[in-house]
Amino acid sequence: MRKICYILAILLGLTCQSLNAQSYEPGVSKELAAQRVQNISDVHYDLTFDIPDNLQVLVSGNAIISFNLARKSEVVLDFQGNFTGTCIVNGKQRILTMENEHIIIPAELVAPGANTIDISFVSLDKALNRNPEYMYSLFVPDQARSCFPCFDQPDMRATFNTTLNVPQGWKTMVSDGRYPIPTYLYSFVAGKFEEQTARREGYPIRALYREQDPQKVAQLSKVFDEIGGSLHWMEGYTGIKCPFEEYGLVILPGYQFGGMEHPGAIQLSDRRIFLGSNPSKDEELSRMELVAHETAHLWFGDMVSLKWFEDVWTKEVFANFMASKITRREFSETDHDLNFLKTYQARALAIDRTEGTHPIAKELKNLNYASMLYDDIIYDKAPVMMRILEDIMGASQLQEGLHNYLQKYFFKNASWDDLIVELDRQCPSAGVRQFSEVWVKQKGMPLIHTTYDNGKLVVSQTDPYGRGIFWRQKFEVRLIYDLNESRTVTIDMQQPTVSVDIGRRPNFIIPNYTGRGYGRFTLDDDYTKLLPLRLIVTRGDLQRYALLLTLYDNYLMGRIPANYFSELYRDMMKEQNPLIMQTVIDHMFKIAFDCTPSERHTLEQCIMDLLKENKSADSRQIILRKMAANATAPEVLNQLYKVWSAQSDPLFDEHDYMEMAYRLAIMRPQQWKDITAKQLGKLRSDNLQEEFNYVSRACNPDQNAQQSLFNEIIEKENRLHEPWALHTLRLLSADTREPQNNGYIPQSLDALTYIQQTSDIFFANNWLNSLLGSHKSQEALSHVESFISRHPDYQPNLLNKIRVAAWPLKNFREKQKQ
């Protein structure tokens, strides 16, 4: 078809390129990707970038792209920036045009075998994160093409050679391009950075950072140890040496993700790496998991990469699943299992119970939409699924299967189905294929009901979407007869209903006793009424935590009233395990949020009073941090004001005091100027002052000022540091500013497609959560529902994100009606 157009074009005196280019849509379609990977191989990029420190001047560069062509046909490069039209193809100067984000090299200019294209270009700033003193490129999932001409699809791996021309005194770091890697893993960083080097497990480590605080910088040696520990563990588990020779990391202020796994140039968020002087156990665990996650990616993601971004979850699931195993070494078994529930299971439930949920595996037609695939289903439900799969296969069988998979696809690309083939071969009896059909390819989770019936314990699953499927899994049920007599029954759900003879009726049944099962475990009505409070304070830590999740879910389902919790949590305040304490407090605040203002004041006051009962540093830190973002009661605000004014409590760092200042300024509008001015004076570093100046504008009580700030952060050029923009939106959307701030909801939703297209992968999600997380009015919900009904053909993945973010609001309104 295109050949005919070409002949016609010559006859008509038109250029061939403009007609040809029309047949390629913007972005990288699945069809284009499939054609290219068939025909093009052995790609190498020789890249030069000129990086000015003047932000008004664009980055420019040159690319010499060499590749092997199987047969003579036109070659399509992806590029969004600018070039003059002149380039050199196989040694000859040619004029090419660009359309729909592609440069098309006609077939007659190339030949089967080796080809070279030499192009000078100007990059878009889009993915370059340029700041006055430093910049870093971040191309995942499909932004390399905004910077240089390339084949921007993950299964066209390439080697890279990079020359960076940078201002004097700037340091640089570039992805390790000696090995073939996908374009989304290629990155370069340049700027005024401090530098440290180290050696762990025989690998040289090089770190770049901008942090000045010596107490924070000193934490680097611990981070290096965590890197060494992670490398060691991964080599042991996979039986494969670290596939890259050097470990480079750069720690960035205001970074938009937790981290990104560019081999040799891993990027990490400074807030996740440099902790305050008294980090909570949660923060330490989370740093270890982040380091382990990015390190695990060197095998899962970097060495073996996905074929197409719809499988992006497969690299994330292994990074998280391995991170969780690596972190196990650092913490006790109980804390580890508990942390798994807390980190993965609770978050997976939070999205899976909404109507915006979706299968782990989703289809992706064009890389344009790849960023919409990222959410808690892929990061948190996928590891839960892996753990259940490991339960069914057996740990050593899974490990062996993964080893075979990594060896088979060494520096190649593989899909989830390729992995399933390996695992099925490894352990045919496990039913891995059927497992994957339900757990990976279907959305949602079962309702699981546990009851006593005539001498039997009956456990039954229901599919909430009526498809008649069931989720194979194993878990424990605890039967309690009295304080001295209880026992555990293991349930292996190989069919939708399982019954076990248990004899006489227990006084109480705790479903999912150790948290190994996944679904919504409904408590039997008879038992709910009887639930003795002391049960929860006497269980083991893991069991107590699992029961907390079940109770909270039953609260959300309307099966347990709010007042039940105030008593329960009063008991829980004696809690000594900080991981459990954190969740108890989180739940308490969520329930307080659902209450009337006066009930909420009382609850907040109770929580503060409990500080006198539980004097642990953990409880003080957790409670005051929550208050700093949420307090409404005047007496509580007074107490918070005292802590903030003194700024002397070592449990809190500068970000904590900034958060307190925001809340106090919003709650005391007549003092907002004094409070923000005082806080600004306390901040020592330029980075923090810049952040505070940006975010604290949201504290201005003037409604017009708030509206114009909102209008400002909608625009791409004003959200260079995405976390700051999100924080600003969260403050503008504060609970106490409802209903006046309801208008941001329709405005944000109308702009959502633009926001998604002009931001990094997690931003649209986080934007919606910041926007909707603090609303509870019917008017707010109506804005969302009216938007959804007015847009029947909206991008389904983006629509799901709206539904997920609006679910707590919707669930609250529905419970109000009951």
Binding site for Zn ion (CB under 5 A): 316, 319
Q: How far apart are the first and last CA of the chain?
A: 62
Taking the least distance from each CB to Zn ion, the nearer of 288 and 607 is 288
Q: Smallest distance, Å, CB 299 to Zn ion?
A: 12
Q: Which two tokens stand for residue 324?
A: 């969780």
Greatest Cα pair distance in the chain: 94
- Residue recorded with tokens 């309104």: 813
Q: Smallest distance, Å, CB 323 to Zn ion?
A: 9
3-state secondary structure of 83: coil
- The answer to whether the bond into 739 is cis (omega within 30° of 0) is yes
- Residue recorded with tokens 């909570």: 280
Q: Does residue 301 contact residue 315 with C-beta atoms inside 8 Å?
A: yes
Q: Smallest distance, Å, CB 259 to Zn ion?
A: 7
Q: Smallest distance, Å, CB 406 to Zn ion?
A: 17
Residue of this chain nearest to Zn ion (CB atom): 319
DSSP bridge pairs for 497 = 460
Q: Smallest distance, Å, CB 300 to Zn ion?
A: 9
**Bridging pattern class, strands 98-99 and 102-105:** antiparallel
Taking the least distance from each CB to Zn ion, the nearer of 273 and 572 is 273
Q: Smallest distance, Å, CB 797 to Zn ion?
A: 19
Taking the least distance from each CB to Zn ion, the nearer of 405 and 644 is 405
Dihedral, CA atoms, 745, 747, 750, 755, nearest 10 degrees? -90
Q: Which two tokens stand for residue 38?
A: 């068939």
Among residues 287, 281, 253, 285, the alpha carbon closest in space to that of 269 is found at 253
Q: Smallest distance, Å, CB 451 to Zn ion?
A: 41
Q: Smallest distance, Å, CB 324 to Zn ion?
A: 13
What are the φ/ψ torsions at residue 495 (nearest 5 degrees)? -145, 170
**814: number of Cβ within 10 Å:** 11
Dihedral, CA atoms, 543, 549, 555, 556, nearest 10 degrees? -160
Taking the least distance from each CB to Zn ion, the nearer of 297 and 600 is 297
Taking the least distance from each CB to Zn ion, the nearer of 295 and 354 is 295
**Bridging pattern class, strands 497-501 and 485-493:** unpaired
Taking the least distance from each CB to Zn ion, the nearer of 316 and 604 is 316
Taking the least distance from each CB to Zn ion, the nearer of 316 and 594 is 316
Taking the least distance from each CB to Zn ion, the nearer of 290 and 622 is 290
Taking the least distance from each CB to Zn ion, the nearer of 89 and 385 is 385
Beta strands in 51-202 (DSSP E): 60-69, 75-78, 86-89, 92-95, 98-99, 102-105, 113-122, 134-136, 158-165, 171-174, 188-191, 194-200
Q: Smallest distance, Å, CB 182 to Zn ion?
A: 14
Q: What is d(CA 550, CA 523) in angstroms, rounded to the nearest whole number? A: 8
Burial class (CB in 10 A: 0-12, 13-18, 19+), 794: middle
Q: Smallest distance, Å, CB 311 to Zn ion?
A: 13
Q: What is d(CA 685, CA 676) in angstroms, rounded to the nearest whole number? A: 16
Taking the least distance from each CB to Zn ion, the nearer of 319 and 367 is 319
Q: Does residue 802 contact residue 767 with C-beta atoms inside 8 Å?
A: no
Q: Smallest distance, Å, CB 428 to Zn ion?
A: 31
Taking the least distance from each CB to Zn ion, the nearer of 290 and 389 is 290
DSSP bridge pairs for 60 = 50, 122
CB-side neighbour CA atoms (13 Å) of 595: 22
**Bridging pattern class, strands 194-200 and 203-209:** antiparallel
What are the φ/ψ torsions at residue 119 (nearest 5 degrees)? -130, 135
Q: Which two tokens stand for residue 362?
A: 């989703």
Taking the least distance from each CB to Zn ion, the nearer of 318 and 409 is 318
Taking the least distance from each CB to Zn ion, the nearer of 319 and 755 is 319
Q: Smallest distance, Å, CB 762 to Zn ion?
A: 11
Q: Smallest distance, Å, CB 183 to Zn ion?
A: 17
Cα angle 486-492-497, degrees, rounded to a multiple of 5:
95
